């Protein structure tokens, strides 16, 4: 049974948003850091597929067994995960993803779980046009849940509080889903990702020229102290309103100097102004890159309660 032969339904995908909200018209689920899985079960034959239609049966034979023990024909949507403590770990899951032979997968020592969160077809009936609350109710009723199959619980309110809880717990974030929405293929704003991001203080060591209609400056050049050296950590070009651009721009202009204070890192050279490293900015970001720069940084504001030389790279422990 192939995904195409079984009536392939491309998965619905969430859209990343910086907004967090609470709305009774939405539900909120934990965002799991794993591998998306579309489950097809028809006449006793089970096939697991990735979001791009690669068959996954060989990698997760215990999930195939668990689905085969269910009754009825169905198409399910879910996420395969592995855990490191109480947190889902994509790095740990990769040890299973790379195995394609069932016996090797069973011997890997990496336990996996399939969190189910949607039901697309049941006993020949297409459910994608139903609202999400109804689909989830049918999903809960139609599957017998025991490890490694788990139902993805949700909250009906308090999306902001749940997102804050997710970040405190070290989760990847949460998914907000419009409760009355049908299941539609592809990227949709009816599903939104509230991703947790890291944040910390950084020393401001320079800025770039503004472009277009922007005033003040273009991006801040930031870094942190590493054994006495100011190490460059990248540019921050978002998160500013006009007031911030003007205020921070005036402060930077008074601190300009000819040479960079940064002594480590690959520095930009075009359209750059260097400043004395006296200002500290609070910056949110998604992660560190392998070369020690920030991914998706966003400026949050200036900090005045810390000495610049006390600003170091914060490492989760």
Run of H or E including 133: helix 132-142
- Farthest CA pair distance, the chain: 74
From the centroid of its chain, how far is CA 83?
16
What lies within 8 Å, CB to CB, of 264 at 6+ separation is 226, 229, 230, 231, 232
In the set 31, 136, 195, 235, the catalytic residue is 31
Q: Which has the closest alpha carbon to 190: 199, 180, 177?
A: 177
Q: Is 72 left (phi over 0), alpha (psi -120 to 50) or beta?
A: left
Contact 218, 210 (CB under 8 A): yes
> How, if at all, do strands 113-122 and 149-151 pair?
parallel
Q: What is the DSSP string of 157-195?
A: S-HHHHHHHHHHTT--EEEEEETTPPP-SEEEEEEEEEE
| 100 carries an active-site annotation | no
Q: Which has the closest alpha carbon to 79: 105, 107, 113, 45?
A: 113
What lies within 8 Å, CB to CB, of 213 at 6+ separation is none
Residues 24 and 155: their CA atoms lie apart, in Å, by 10
Helix (H, G, I), strand (E, B), or coil: what is residue 253? helix
Place of tokens 């490492």: 315
Q: Which two tokens stand for residue 38?
A: 């579309």
Q: Which two tokens stand for residue 88?
A: 């889902």
- Give the DSSP letter of residue 57: T
- Give catalytic residue positions: 31
């Amino acid at each position: 049974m192939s995904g195409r032969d079984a009536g392939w339904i491309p998965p619905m995908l969430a859209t990343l948003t910086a907004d967090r909200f609470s709305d009774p018209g939405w539900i909120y689920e934990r965002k799991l850091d794993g591998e998306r899985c579309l489950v097809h079960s028809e006449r006793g034959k089970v096939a697991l597929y990735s979001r791009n239609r690669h068959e996954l049966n060989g990698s997760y034979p215990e999930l195939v067994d668990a689905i085969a023990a269910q009754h009825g024909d169905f198409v399910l949507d879910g996420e395969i995960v592995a855990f490191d403590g109480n947190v889902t770990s994509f790095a740990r899951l990769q040890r299973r993803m790379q195995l394609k032979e069932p016996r090797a997968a069973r011997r890997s020592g990496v336990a996996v779980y399939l969190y189910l969160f949607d039901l697309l077809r049941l006993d020949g009936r297409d459910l994608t046009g139903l609202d999400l609350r109804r689909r989830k109710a049918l999903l809960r009723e139609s599957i017998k849940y025991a490890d490694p199959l788990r139902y993805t619980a949700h909250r009906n309110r308090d999306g902001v509080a749940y997102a804050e809880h997710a970040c405190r717990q070290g989760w990847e974030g949460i998914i907000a889903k419009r409760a009355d929405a049908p299941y539609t293929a592809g990227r949709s704003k009816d599903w939104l990702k509230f991703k947790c991001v890291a944040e910390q203080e950084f020393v401001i060591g320079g800025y770039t020229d503004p472009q277009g209609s922007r005033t003040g400056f273009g991006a801040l050049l930031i870094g942190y102290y590493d054994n006495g050296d100011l190490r460059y950590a990248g540019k921050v070009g978002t998160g500013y309103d006009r007031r911030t651009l003007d205020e921070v721009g005036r402060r930077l202009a008074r601190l300009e100097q000819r040479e960079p204070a940064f002594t480590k890192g690959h520095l930009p050279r075009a359209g750059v102004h260097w400043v004395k490293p006296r200002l500290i900015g609070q910056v949110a970001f998604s992660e560190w890159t392998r070369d020690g720069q920030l991914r998706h940084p966003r400026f949050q504001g200036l900090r005045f309660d810390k000495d610049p030389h006390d600003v170091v790279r914060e490492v989760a422990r």
